[in-house]
A and B are shown apart, each in its own frame.
Chain A
Amino acid sequence: MKGLASVISMEFRKILAYRSDFWVTFIGQTLIQLIVARSLWQSIFESNQVESMQGFDLNMITLYYLLVPIGTRILAGQNIGFLSREIYDGTFTRYLIYPVNVFVYKSTTYLTHSLFYCFQLFFIYLIYQIIFGGMTFHPEQLFLGVLIFFVASICYMFLCMMVELIALWADNVWTLMVMLKFFVTFFGGGIIPMDFFPLWSQKILALTPFPYLISLPVKTMMGLMPLNESITGIGVLIVWSCIFLGMLQLLWSKGQKSYTGVGI
C-alpha cells in the first residue's frame, strides 16, 4: 500500500513536470472546443429559429462541450502507449523485478492521471460560471458524475490494456488505440450528444459500453439523467469492466508466452 502511494505521488509529479505545456494544452483545447461547439450550435439554433433542440438549449450544450474534453481526459488516463511502447522497446521486462504486479502498477499510474483530471473538472465549472454565470450548482450531481467518470475510466482502462497487449504480437498498436479513441468519442457522445442520434442507433449503442463512458457521466453532471438511470449505468459499467478484465487475463496468459523482451 505504501508502495502504491509512492507511485501515485511520483505520477502527480510527472504530470506537473511540464507545467506550461500542460496548462497551454488544457486551456487551449478546452477553450477552442468550447468556442467551436458554441458557434456551431448557435448557428444550428438560428437556422431552425428555435431555442432548444432534443432538450438542450445553447447554454446547456455549451456546458456539455465544456465537460466532454475533460471527461475524455479522465477516461484516457495515461494516454496511448502506456503498455505497448514498453513492450515494443523491451523495457517491459523491468516489471519482472518490481515488488508489485505489473497490472496493479500500471492501473495505479493510469488511474492517478484520471484522478488528477477529475480535479480539473472543478476548473471547468469555474470557467463556465465566469463566462456564462447563472448556472445552478448541484454538488450531488457533480459528485455522482465524477464517480461515474472514475468507474468509466476503470472500464476504459481494461479495454485499452487489451488493445495495448496486442503489441505482444504486432509491432505497433498506436493506430488501433487511435481507432478505439475515435469510436469511443463518436459513439460515446463526445462529438455530438447522443440525443441527436437516430433512435434506432441509440438503441443499438445502448448494448455497447460506449454511451456509458462519456454521455452518461456528462449528462449526470448536468442533471439530465434520472438518479436510477445513473445508478444503473454504474452497474452496466461494472459488468463491462468484469468482461474486459476476463478478456484481458485471457489475452495476457496467451500473450506473455510470445514476449521475448528483446525490444527494438
Chain B
Amino acid sequence: MLQGTDVGGFLIIQDSATYSGRHLLNSFINAALNREESVHVLGFEISEEELKDGLKRSPIQRLHFHNAFIDPLGWTDHPIFTVHQFSLEELVRLVKQTSHPKPATLVIDSLSWILRHISPPAVCKTLQQLKKEGAVRAVIGLLHADMHQKGTVGSVCHLATSVITVAPGVKGDAAVAKITKRSKSGKVMQDEEIFSIKEDLTVIVQSKPNHTGPKQTDSEEQEIDPTANLTFNLRLSETERSAKDKLALPFVFSKEKKTALLHSGPGSGRILYEPDANDDYDQEDPDDDLDV
C-alpha cells in the first residue's frame, strides 16, 4: 500500500472520535523503522511509554521521541518541547540532534494539538517550509478532523501529498480508508479500501472499492438456507406421497358424486303432471293463453 512514502512527502492520517488513526500511524512508524530509517516522533498526545508499548515488536533503536506530552504549554518549570516551539528552526534542530546519514521521517502526533494553539496559517507555513527544506525525508501527521472547522482541515490537507481518512468498518476490526494521493505531475488519485491491522502492525487490505462491499454482504445473506433449521418436515417420503395422492379432497367433483346427484334414489321428490280438463292446451300454439 502506501508503506513507502516518497521523499519530501507529507502524509496526513485523518481520524475521528469513532475510530482512532493512531494504530495506522503506528504501522507507518513500524514500516519506516523496518526500512532502517530513523524516525522522529513529536508526541503531543501520547507518552513515550505508550508509544513504545504500541511498537513492541519494532526495532526502536532508531526511534527518537520528542516529549511534548508532559508539558506542551510550559506550565511546569522545565518544559522539554512546547507547542510554541513548533517552527522550522526548532524542528530542524530536533531532527539534526542525532547524526544520521539518511534524512529522517518526522511523525507528528497530533497536528490537532498544534492547530489548537497556533493559528492555522502559521502551522501551514511551517509545514510547507519543512517540505521544501529537505531536512526530513517525509512528514506523517495525525489529524483529528472532527476537532476543527472544515476550512482548517481543508487547508492543511491541501499541503499534503497524501491524505488517508479512516473510519470504522462494517464488521469486526476492519476499517475503511479513503486515500487521496497527489503525484508530482499534479494528478490526483482517489481510492477507497477496507483494511485491518494485524498484531505485528502490518496492514492487510481486505477488499478494494466500497461499492462491492454491500453487494458481497447481500450474496452472503442469500446463501443462507432458510429451510435449514425448521421444526417441521418439508419433504415427503414415497409412502407418504402415495397416501397423499389417494386422498380425495372434499370439494373435488368426482364421478361418483355426479351420478349420486343425478340418479337420486326412490322416494325422493318427483314431479307428476296430470293434465286438467280446463287446461286448454293447444299443441299447435303453446303460447296461446298469453295475450300477445
Partners in one complex: no
